[in-house]
Structures are given as structure tokens and as C-alpha cells.
């Protein structure tokens, strides 16, 4: 018997087939699989090709899949859950137990090993999800880059550019962000940034990578960059706390998983968030993930006790590493 795990978002989708003990026997990757940002035809083609890739790798074992969880961005919105369930049912072996969720559940379970908690996701966008012991899901934030997604890579990039232009105008303090941004864009002067930002590419793609510059400068002690990250962490905390209140937990300590590219410097963010929590409710345990989100999808399908989940994910991590490095 095997388990199929799928993790899909607005950039890429990854799927694995593994044993119930965590040995990965097939892995497939493709582009985005968010049904809210692509046509039904494109979505169907993407998922079909993903499943067929796994099937080609393991034509016999594919038919032994008995459990599947697909955590996909946008799947719980509009009528997408029904569409996705029908599509996957047609592609999977008959009788396979199928469950669906937002991809945030994958990220959460990759940190809590299938247990309840809160996940703060921050990449190009940002969203907060909480899941209690009964499986009830609540969310806050993540309503789009035009007026929300605070704390995202894009938001941090915007804050970085604001600081750079304010320093240039003498409206704000000098900062090492200025030279770092100029070096990143390979420009000679601040006004030249305007042409880059308003150029042919989408502003999100241009601005989001600047979050890494802000984080690097903060690590080197730049006061302005640290202020940006402090502001962002207060935004995260506000969203986490709101999500907690929408979905209260019986535990005195609640696990909060930090997931997404913004949290690559995990220790820095944990320290800042823990400091905020100490002055407030002092009830959150901030942590990173044990595995890739697709590992969380496998745990969502299997619903293992905590001790068995740890054994599974250790084996899963070891075997998936071989696929990703080959």
C-alpha cells in the first residue's frame, strides 16, 4: 500500500508516492496548480500530467495507492474543491481515499507532524491558517498584493524601497539598504530604480526579491532594515493572534509554524516573534518545518500518531533528498 502526496501553489507543484513507512518511490514536479489563477483546461492538464508522470515512474505500484492528500492553493475557494475532487478521483486507483485542503495545511503539518496549530506562510504572498484538533480551519490575511499580503516578500520589498527613497530625499535616515539595492539592480543612482520597477516585468516579481536584501542588512545590524523586520513581525503576530481567536485551542501552548521563503533566516524571525509574544500572551511556540510541505501532505493523508509521524517524516526526508539531488 502506498500514499500519494501533492503540494501545489502559485509557482510550482510537487507530488510523491511513498510507502506508509516513508520510503519515497516516485517524485514529480510541475508548474503552478492554483485553480483560481488558471483556466480549468490548464488546471486539468497540469494535474493530469503530474499524476501521469508518477504513473510512468511506477506503473505497478501506482495502482497500489490507497491514500492521497492534495493540498493546493485556491482549492477551497469557489467551486474548486468539487472540481479537483472529481478530477483526481478519475486519475487515481479505484477506492483510493482522497482528501483535499488549502496548501497551508501541508506547511502546517510539515512542522507539527500532523497535529493542530497555526501556520504563518510568507513568500511572494502571505497568509495565516489555524487548524484545531477537530480539523476546523480558519484563516486571516492573504487577500492579495494590491491591498493586503502584509509581511510577504513583496511587502518587505516595498518597505525596503520606501526606506531607500526616503533616505535619498533626506526624509529618512541613511541605511545600507541603499547600496545593497543599487548593487542588486546593478544601477548607479536611486532614480534609476523607477525604470526597473515600472518596467516590463510584474512589480511583484521585481520587488519581492528585495526582501532578502532587507533580511541580510538586518543581520548585519542596519537599524532601518531591523525596523522593517520588527514592523513585519508585529504584522505577523497580529495575524497569528487573530487566527488563534477565530479558532481557539484548548492547549496552553500553541505551535506556530513559520513557512515560506521569507523565513529562510528562521532564527532571526523566531527571536523577534518570541520577544513580541513574551510581552503579550506568551502562548506561542514558534518553529520551522521538519520537511517540505509535500511531506505534510503525506501526513495529512495518513493521520499518524505523533511518534509514528516523526519516524515516517525522518525516513521521508532521507529518501526524498536522494530524488532532489539526482
- Residue given cell 520510503 in the structure block: 23
Please report the beta strands in 176-294, taking only residues with DSSP state E, as ranges in sequence order: 254-259, 284-287
∠ Cα 10 12 13 (to 5°): 110
The predicted structure's pLDDT at residue 14: 96
CA–CA gap between residue 14 and residue 9 (Å, rounded): 9
What are the angstrom distances between the C-alpha of 124 and each of 144, 157, 158, 165, 215? 10, 10, 12, 22, 15
Give 145's contacts (C-beta < 8 A, 6+ positions apart). Answer: 124, 125, 152, 154, 155, 204
Res. 326: pLDDT tops 80 = no
Every domain of the chain and the residues it spans: 2-113+290-325, 116-289
pLDDT in tens, 149-169: 899 999 999 999 999 999 999
State residue 33's pLDDT score: 87
Pairing of strands 117-122, 254-259: parallel
Residues in the chain: 326
Residue 282 backbone class (left: φ over 0; alpha: ψ -120 to 50; beta: rest)? left
Same topology between domain 2-113+290-325 and domain 116-289: yes
Give percent above pLDDT 70 in the chain: 100
203-212 confidence digits (pLDDT tens): 888 999 999 9
pLDDT computed for residue 306 by the predictor? 87
CA distance 85 to 231: 40
Q: Using an 8 Å Cβ cutoff, are 265 and 275 in contact?
A: no
Could you say which architecture CATH assigns to the domain 2-113+290-325? 2-Layer Sandwich (3.30)
CATH number of the 116-289 domain: 3.30.420.40
Amino acid at each position: 500500500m502506498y500514499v500519494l502526496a501533492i503540494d501545489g501553489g502559485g509557482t510550482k507543484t510537487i507530488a510523491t508516492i511513498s510507502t506508509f513507512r516513508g520510503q519515497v518511490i516516485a517524485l514529480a514536479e510541475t508548474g503552478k496548480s492554483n485553480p483560481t489563477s488558471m483556466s480549468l483546461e490548464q488546471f486539468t492538464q497540469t494535474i493530469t500530467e503530474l499524476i501521469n508522470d508518477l504513473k510512468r515512474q511506477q506503473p505497478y505500484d501506482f495502482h497500489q495507492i490507497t491514500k492521497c492528500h492534495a493540498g493546493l492553493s485556491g482549492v477551497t475557494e469557489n467551486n474548486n474543491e468539487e472540481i479537483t475532487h472529481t478530477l483526481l478521483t478519475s486519475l487515481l486507483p479505484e477506492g483510493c481515499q482522497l482528501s483535499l485542503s488549502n496548501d497551508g495545511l501541508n506547511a502546517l503539518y510539515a512542522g507539527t507532524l500532523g497535529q493542530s496549530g497555526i501556520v504563518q506562510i510568507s513568500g511572494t504572498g502571505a497568509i495565516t491558517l489555524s487548524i484545531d484538533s477537530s480539523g476546523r480551519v480558519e484563516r486571516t490575511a492573504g487577500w492579495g498584493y494590491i491591498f493586503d499580503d502584509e509581511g510577504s516578500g513583496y511587502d518587505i520589498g516595498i518597505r525596503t524601497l520606501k526606506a531607500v527613497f526616503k533616505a535619498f530625499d533626506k526624509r529618512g535616515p541613511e541605511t545600507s539598504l541603499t547600496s545593497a539595492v543599487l548593487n542588486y539592480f546593478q544601477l548607479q543612482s536611486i532614480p534609476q530604480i523607477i525604470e526597473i520597477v515600472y518596467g516590463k516585468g510584474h512589480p511583484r516579481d521585481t520587488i519581492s526579491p528585495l526582501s532578502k536584501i532587507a533580511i541580510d542588512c538586518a543581520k548585519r545590524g542596519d537599524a532601518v532594515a531591523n525596523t522593517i523586520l520588527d514592523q513585519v513581525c508585529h504584522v505577523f503576530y497580529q495575524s497569528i493572534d487573530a487566527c488563534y481567536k477565530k479558532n481557539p485551542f484548548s492547549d496552553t501552548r500553541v505551535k506556530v509554524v513559520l513557512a515560506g521563503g521569507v523565513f529562510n533566516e528562521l532564527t532571526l524571525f523566531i527571536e523577534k516573534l518570541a520577544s513580541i509574544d513574551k510581552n503579550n500572551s506568551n502562548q506561542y511556540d514558534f518553529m520551522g518545518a521538519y520537511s517540505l510541505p509535500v511531506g505534510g501532505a503525506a501526513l495529512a493523508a495518513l493521520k499518524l500518531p505523533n511518534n509514528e509521524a516523526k519516524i515516517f517524516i525522518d525516513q521521508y526526508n532521507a529518501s526524498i533528498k536522494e530524488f532532489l539531488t539526482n
